[in-house]
């Protein structure tokens, strides 16, 4: 390996969401098949940014946002302690398989611990096309342990 290839290696940065990331985050949400607009995402991100129980981070690769993770602290009757929920995590399709998702999860773990959580969880659909994501979660230490039921109102 030449010194030039080391010097030009891509730099990955996990950092908190900033307003300048709004277009990229909106695009990532659309990649998850969540129909949204820039204005809707602006309102949601502003509300979450003002709430200390939420944390939104992005993965930036050589100055371009290529992934994101959204977190929230949750209290429930089931657990006496506060837990951290991943409400959304995505890495753009052309950057998957490079360890970016794993780094986002590690950042989520660190934030959760700072908030006093000892459990990180997420909810995912049971569609067949999500099998690669489920395998990823299990590969990095998540355990599948429940069903989610929902009812439209």
Q: Average pLDDT for residues 6-17, to the nearest whole number?
A: 79
**CA-CA distances (angstroms) from residue 37 to 16, 27, 49, 57, 112?**
21, 9, 18, 19, 29
Q: Average pLDDT for residues 20-34, to the nearest whole number?
A: 91
Q: What is the pLDDT of residue 13?
A: 94
Query: Which pair of structure tokens corresponds to residue 71?
Result: 């977190």
Report the mean per-residue pLDDT for the chain: 87
Given a cut of 80, whether residue 137 has pLDDT beyond it is: yes
Q: What is the pLDDT of residue 79?
A: 67
Given a cut of 60, whether residue 24 has pLDDT beyond it is: yes
Q: Average pLDDT for residues 114-121, to the nearest whole number?
A: 91
Size of the chain in residues: 153
Instruction: Kindly state the DSSP code that residue 93 receives in the 8-state scheme.
Output: G
Phi first, then psi, for residue 64 (nearest 5°) are -115, 130
Of 91-105, 107-121, 135-149, the one with minimum mean pLDDT is 135-149
Picking from 112, 41, 44, the residue whose alpha carbon sits closest to that of residue 83 is 112
Between 72 and 147, residue with greater pLDDT: 72
Q: Average pLDDT for residues 115-132, to the nearest whole number?
A: 84
Q: What is the pLDDT of residue 8?
A: 59
Given a cut of 70, whether residue 2 has pLDDT beyond it is: no
Given a cut of 70, whether residue 113 has pLDDT beyond it is: yes
Domains of the chain are 3-139 (3.40.630.30)
Of 54-68, 101-115, 135-149, the one with minimum mean pLDDT is 135-149
């Amino acid at each position: 390996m030449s010194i030039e290839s080391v010097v030009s290696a891509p730099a990955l940065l996990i950092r908190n969401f900033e307003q300048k990331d709004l277009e990229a985050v909106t695009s990532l949400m659309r990649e998850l098949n969540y129909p949204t607009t820039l204005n809707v995402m602006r309102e949601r991100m502003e509300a979450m940014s003002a709430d200390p129980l939420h944390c939104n981070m992005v993965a930036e690769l050589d100055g371009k946002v290529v992934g994101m993770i959204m977190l929230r602290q949750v209290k429930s009757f089931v657990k006496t302690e506060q837990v951290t929920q991943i409400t959304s995590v995505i890495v753009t399709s052309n950057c998957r398989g490079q360890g970016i998702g794993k780094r986002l999860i590690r950042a989520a773990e660190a934030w959760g611990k700072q908030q006093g959580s000892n459990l990180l969880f997420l909810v995912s659909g049971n569609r067949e096309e999500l099998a690669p994501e489920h395998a990823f979660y299990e590969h990095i230490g998540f355990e599948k342990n429940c069903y989610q039921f929902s009812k439209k109102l």
